[in-house]
Amino acid sequence: MAARFTTFDPDVLTSEARGVHDRILRDRGYVPAPYRFWLASPGFADRIEPVEDFLRHGVVLEERQVELVVLVVARHWQSRFVWSAHAPAARQAGVESEVIEAIRSGAVVLLGREDDALCYAFSNALISGVAVDDTQWAQAQALLGERRINEIIGLLGLYTSVCLTMAAYRVPPKNDEPNLPA
């Protein structure tokens, strides 16, 4: 299987893309991996970056809940790169190793906190194309609230884009996290 990406060199970016790259680098101190591809469309990269920054750092969801949602998406899309980046981040955010392994392997996921369990189940139902039934919707409204529901939906969309980008370019995993099962 041929690689579809080369070593990223910001010096070969168009002037418009270089401006976006430099702004992200200045604001964040680094340029996240998907941008090496998204910068081919500077307008897209410029517009998705504030959305990505908000969904990663401006939401009211707790960090471990953000990471749970990202792991659900990575598992669904079989994105080894995203999984390898976010399994360690999930551990650091307080998601137990047993939960991470259960998500990775497709086993039953048992979460101790009701809001985490609902966040996981709601995300898993939506990404799997299963309709969120009225009972689950009412539970999400009561426990999470509409703002968190919309943040979950936004994370599902954003990380679907990230996973598809990394898959399309065949980006290998970042580290030695266990592979996702096929």
Q: What would the 3-class secondary structure string for the chain be? A: CCCCCCCCCHHHCCHHHHHHHHHHHHHHCCCCCCHHHHCCCHHHHHHHHHHHHHHHHCCCCCHHHHHHHHHHHHHHHCCHHHHHHHHHHHHHCCCCHHHHHHHHHCCCCCCCCHHHHHHHHHHHHHHCCCCCCHHHHHHHHHHCHHHHHHHHHHHHHHHHHHHHHHHHCCCCCCCCCCCCCC
The model's pLDDT over 101-146, given as tens digits with 9 standing for 90+, comes to 999 999 999 999 999 999 999 999 999 987 788 999 999 999 999 9
The model's pLDDT over 45-91, given as tens digits with 9 standing for 90+, comes to 999 999 999 998 999 999 999 999 999 999 999 999 999 999 999 99
What pTM did the predictor assign? 0.92
